[in-house]
């Protein structure tokens, strides 16, 4: 059974701080790991990491995948109040359209 | 842009009622999914569908059924709603022709069963 564990469950930081969110996983025949951001609505896609793309960056957000140690991190630098959200990590296996999600990390940015 | 819509944002039903949650996607995706999201438990898969009239149980199908008569529409049915089905319900779609099966989500339906 595939499994995703995210840590911490919640995090409160001040605006301008840098945060690191963690995601460890167990999956049969790893295909991809995805990060989503969820505010008070639908989760929105951030990054997808695969065997051929283990590092992604977009503005202040970046993510890396360690396939050997089976984890990923999501970094957010110079945090802003708009970064407050639940961050979800999900993994998928080859030949399987399903994704397995972690419980999410609730990030709160204090002005 | 992919658009996934859900019939209601908020819904209040009574115990024992039959509840229908509708999801429609406009990108001709083959795969559709229903999740429920609860604090501390994350997203849990209820049912999914690979194609019209095809369905498979997810991790927590008990108390739910689904219907997919048209490719763009996937319905979740609570045959007899119970208070423990109070939750946020999220629908998603994806396509195997897209790289790595990225899922696109609807806005969610917050269901309260009293």
DSSP-assigned letters across all residues of chain A = --EEEEE-SEEEEETT--EEEEEEEE-SSEEEEEEEEESSSS-EEEEEEETTB-EEEETTEEEEEETTTTEEEEEE-S--GGG-EEEEEEEEETT----EE---EEEEEE-
CA count, 13 A, side-chain hemisphere, B80:
1
Contact B102/A45, CB-based, under 8 Å?
yes
Of A31, A45, A104, the CB nearest to B42: A104
Closest CA to B30 of B53, B14, B9, B7: B53
Residue B17 — φ and ψ, nearest 5°?
-70, 155
The answer to whether residues B107 and B8 touch, using CB atoms and an 8 Å cutoff, is no
pLDDT digits (tens, 9 = 90+) for B10-23: 999 999 999 999 99
Residue A75's pLDDT is what? 98
Cβ distance A43 to B90 less than 8 Å, yes or no, reads yes
Contact B80, B65 (CB under 8 A): no
Average pLDDT over residues A33-42: 91
Which residue's entry shows tokens 């108390």?
A: B63
Selection from A51, A74, A44, A78 nearest residue B105 by Cα: A44
Cβ A97–B106 below 8 Å, yes or no? no
> pLDDT band at B1, cuts 50/70/90?
low
Q: What CA–CA distance (Å, rounded) separates A97 from B31?
A: 8
A102 inside 8 A of chain B by CB: yes
* pLDDT at residue B2 greater than cutoff 80: no
| B38 neighbors B29 (Cβ within 8 angstroms) | no
Predicted local distance difference test score (pLDDT) of residue A42: 87
- Chain B nearest-CA distance from A101, in A, is 6
C-alpha dist (Å) from residue B5 to A41, B2, B110: 12, 10, 14
Name the least confident of A3-7, A41-45, B46-50. A41-45
Q: What span, in angstroms and rounded, lies between the C-alpha atoms of B91 and A41?
A: 12
* pLDDT tens by residue, A59-94: 999 999 998 889 999 999 999 999 999 999 999 888
Q: State whether residue B83 is helix, strand or coil.
A: helix
Contact between B72 and B32 (Cβ < 8 Å): no
Whether B85 contacts B98, CB under 8 Å:
no
For residue A34, which residues of chain B lie inside 8 Å, CB to CB?
100, 102-103
CA triple A6-A11-A13, angle to 5 deg: 145
Q: Establish if A9 touches chain B: CB-CB under 8 angstroms.
A: yes
Mean pLDDT, chain B, whole residue set: 93
pLDDT per position as a tens digit, B61-110: 999 999 999 999 999 999 999 999 999 999 999 987 765 568 999 999 99
């Amino acid at each position: 059974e595939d499994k995703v564990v995210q840590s911490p469950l919640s995090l409160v930081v001040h605006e301008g701080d840098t945060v690191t969110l963690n995601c460890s996983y167990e999956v049969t025949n790893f295909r991809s790991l995805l990060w989503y951001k969820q505010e008070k609505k639908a989760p929105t896609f951030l990054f997808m990491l695969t065997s051929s793309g283990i590092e992604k960056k977009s503005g202040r957000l970046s993510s890396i995948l360690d396939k050997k140690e089976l984890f990923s991190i999501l970094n957010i630098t110079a945090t802003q109040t708009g970064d407050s959200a639940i961050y979800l990590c999900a993994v998928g296996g080859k030949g399987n359209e399903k994704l397995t999600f972690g419980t999410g990390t609730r990030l709160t940015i204090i002005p | 842009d992919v658009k996934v819509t859900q019939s209601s944002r908020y819904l209040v039903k009574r115990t024992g009622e039959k509840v229908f949650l509708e999801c429609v996607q406009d990108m001709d995706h083959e795969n559709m999914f229903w999740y429920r999201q609860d604090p501390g438990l994350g997203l849990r898969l209820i049912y999914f569908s690979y194609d019209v009239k095809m369905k498979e149980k997810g991790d927590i199908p008990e108390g739910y059924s689904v219907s997919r008569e048209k490719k763009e529409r996937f319905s979740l049915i609570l045959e007899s709603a119970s208070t423990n089905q109070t939750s946020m319900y999220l629908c998603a779609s994806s396509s195997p022709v897209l790289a790595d099966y990225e899922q696109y989500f609807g806005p969610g339906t917050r269901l309260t069963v009293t």
